[in-house]
Amino acid sequence: MTKLVLALLFMAWLRQPAYGQRPDTPAAYLSRMQPIVESESLGSRLAQRLDSLQAACIPSRSYANVLFNRAIDVGFTQRRLEVSLNFYRFQVDLLCRNDTIFSRTIASQDDAQCAYRWYNQAVIGQFLRQRNQLYKVEKTANELLAELATPSTYAFNCGDGAPPTAEGVAIERLVAKHKTAPLLAMLTSFNCETQAFGVAGLQRLQQRGYRLSPATQELIAHVVNRNAELVTCSGCLSGLIEKIYPLH
């Protein structure tokens, strides 16, 4: 009898799903999201399709929202979605042209190893050639996907009492030491918040009498005129989405 019980327990253990497929892990929820993300070609429809997953989840803990849809460069836009399935949160970043998706990334905010990425090599290759020519850089597809998916907030002060942010302090130090190379690298980033920090630092240098090259001034003007929506912070209100440059 004891042997029979042990045998049944062993068989039950063998039937347990592996870690990545257990029903309540980030990997399990990613496996539900991925077929939807892979099968959808239009950025404007993806949030609604992902939102359908909440039917099998806790409604108050599940949603799919568009955080922003902003212009990047050379006719492309970045669309970011925030997805929550029960207690697990995901960030989805898309690079689109005319609403058609040409790159996708999914990142779990609870498990750094739980991620997905894809891009159309031909179209993204063309995008990189055009943008690299504009910015006079040699950035790769890996840099594109990584920088687009980096969650950033543009703020020099944020939080109760408006203390300085780590990024703001870093920019002030670069300006004080006239270190232009890091600021120029920020200016050419695919990440719009990082670009805004680069613009701010270079403009502060210029206000102190530092002469910027005509090419750098043209790139600053390009970023300012593009005026992409940024994730910002005002006082203790973080996660605001707004354009920071006055209308021209």
Domain regions of the chain by residue span:
2-148, 166-242
pLDDT at 24: 84
Q: Over range 130-157, report the average pLDDT.
A: 97
* pLDDT band with cut points at 50, 70 and 90 for residue 187: very high
Does position 13 have pLDDT exceeding 80, yes or no? no
* pLDDT band with cut points at 50, 70 and 90 for residue 3: low
* pLDDT band with cut points at 50, 70 and 90 for residue 6: low
Q: Which tokens go with 181? A: 């190379």
Does position 15 have pLDDT exceeding 50, yes or no? no
pLDDT at 17: 43
pLDDT at 238: 77
pLDDT at 83: 97
Give Cβ neighbours of residue 236 (< 8 Å, ≥ 6 apart): 158, 159, 160
pLDDT at 248: 53
pLDDT at 199: 98
What is the residue-averaged pLDDT of the chain?
91
Q: Over range 142-158, report the average pLDDT.
A: 96
Give the integer Cα–Cα distance in Å for 49 and 44: 10
**pLDDT tens digit string along 58-83?**
888 899 999 999 999 999 999 999 99
Neighbouring CB atoms inside 10 A of 39's CB total 9
User: φ and ψ at 53, to 5 degrees?
Assistant: -70, -20
Does position 116 have pLDDT exceeding 60, yes or no? yes
Does position 247 have pLDDT exceeding 60, yes or no? yes
pLDDT at 14: 38
pLDDT at 120: 99
Of the ranges 23-32, 159-168, 188-197, which is most confident? 188-197
Q: Over range 186-212, report the average pLDDT.
A: 97
36, 115 Cβ separation under 8 angstroms: no
C-alpha distances in Å from residue 222, one per residue of 7, 14, 68, 196, 241: 70, 59, 20, 11, 20
Neighbouring CB atoms inside 10 A of 43's CB total 24
132, 59 Cβ separation under 8 angstroms: no
Q: Over range 143-151, report the average pLDDT.
A: 98
pLDDT at 8: 47
pLDDT at 18: 43
User: For a pLDDT cut of 90, what percent of the chain falls above it?
Assistant: 81
Neighbouring CB atoms inside 10 A of 209's CB total 6
Q: Over range 95-106, report the average pLDDT.
A: 98
Neighbouring-strand partners of residue 233: 238
Does position 246 have pLDDT exceeding 50, yes or no? yes
